[in-house]
Amino acid sequence: MTLCLRIVFLLQVLVLGCAVAAEPLLLFVSVVPQLEAVRRIGGDAVRVEALVPAGASPEYYRPDARRLVQLSRARALLCIGAPLEKALLPKVRKSFPSVAIIDLRQGMTLRRLTGAEVPEAGHAEEHGHEHAVGEADPHVWLSVKNMLCHAENVAAALCSLDPAGSEGYLARGRAYGEELRRLDERLRRQLSPLQGTAVMVFHPAFGYFLDAYGLEQLTVEQAGKEPGARQLAELLRLAREKQVWAIYVQPQFNDRSARSLAEALGVQLREWDPLPDPYIAGLERMATVLLDAQTGAK
């Protein structure tokens, strides 16, 4: 009987030991478009959550105490330059020193915001952010080539955090990178008929995506705010001059002024989400929305 009890005890220890060893790494990313890469490259070895939840804007969102407690238990925060990081990262370093902060932007190409994207740009401190002509556009995830760098950096970060799993991380990283390259090729073919056209959006979030495929971004939002009467009149003139066929609004923002502008122009109002998850399917959906809007305008 004693021998049987010992065997049972040893089996329990082995099972518990395996459970502990198999516990996945808890990781946080800044925004939801990063999730797919970390899930695909990390596989079963990781559990990942986005600091900014789905449906929230990384420009306005501030994590509450409950979210910060969850973050404090993470092995690492994988950053991408989202607007909320500027204020948050110093607090994380001070309050949660055990959470590794890893910047995944190495190798990325940053674009600069233009006057057409941030007209009358200035401070929008009441909203917790600002955009100005010439500043770096933070929406780097809407460039497939930047997200290819992101995938490579995710694989490298996971190898650093869990060297024993390096072989798997690197292999899955290469496979996911190939999917991103094929995505870029498909989007380039699909959107080639639209090259040289202008796209009007509410918030200047889509510049990387539009630049990559030869389109121009125009913005309804003025210095982080909805436009006034004078600005709306100028936007009407610009939209007619550029032959805008639709206005695109983001689910994270109020679309009142964009709706008024679309009605005045007699063009479509379409929803475009700059925070796609899953990422690859989300970018394909963005291209489909663009093409459908042009077809509907003819």
For residue 19, the model assigns a pLDDT of 44
**With bands split at pLDDT 50, 70 and 90, how would you rate the model's confidence at 120?**
low
Residue 111 in domain: yes
Contacts of 54 (CB under 8 A, 6+ apart): 32, 275, 277
The reply to whether 88 and 212 lie within a common domain is no
State pLDDT tens for residues 16-37: 544 445 699 999 999 999 999 9
The reply to whether 219 and 94 lie within a common domain is no
> Looking at residue 219, which CATH number applies to its domain?
3.40.50.1980
**With bands split at pLDDT 50, 70 and 90, how would you rate the model's confidence at 260?**
confident
Residue 100 in domain: yes
The reply to whether 144 and 110 lie within a common domain is yes
The reply to whether 178 and 207 lie within a common domain is no
In this structure, what are the phi and psi dihedrals at residue 169, rounded to the nearest 5 degrees?
A: -60, -45
For residue 115, the model assigns a pLDDT of 66
The reply to whether 29 and 166 lie within a common domain is yes
For residue 259, the model assigns a pLDDT of 87
What count of Cα atoms within 13 Å lies in the side-chain half-sphere of residue 174?
Answer: 5
Look at the alpha carbons of 265, 270, 273, 276 in this order and tell me if their dihedral is positive or negative. negative
The reply to whether 206 and 138 lie within a common domain is no
The whole-number average pLDDT for the span 221-242 is 85
Number of domains in the chain: 2
Length reported for the chain? 298
The reply to whether 170 and 30 lie within a common domain is yes
- Six token digits for residue 25: 């790494």
For residue 4, the model assigns a pLDDT of 41
Cis upstream peptide for 278 (omega within 30°): yes
3-state percent helix, strand, coil for the chain, nearest multiple of 5: 55, 15, 35
241 is in which domain, residue-wise?
A: 193-297
The pLDDT mean for the chain works out to 88
The whole-number average pLDDT for the span 185-189 is 98
The reply to whether 224 and 255 lie within a common domain is yes
What percent of the chain clears pLDDT 70, i.e. is strictly above it? Answer: 85
The reply to whether 108 and 232 lie within a common domain is no
For residue 140, the model assigns a pLDDT of 98
Distances (CA, A) of 295 to 194, 201, 214: 11, 18, 18
Q: Where are the alpha helices (DSSP H) in the chain?
A: 2-21, 35-42, 65-72, 85-95, 144-161, 166-191, 207-212, 229-241, 256-265, 279-297
The reply to whether 106 and 249 lie within a common domain is no
Residue 14 in domain: no
Amino acid type, 281: A
State pLDDT tens for residues 273-298: 999 999 999 999 999 999 998 776 55
The last residue of one of the domains, among 185, 220, 251, is 185
The reply to whether 33 and 181 lie within a common domain is yes
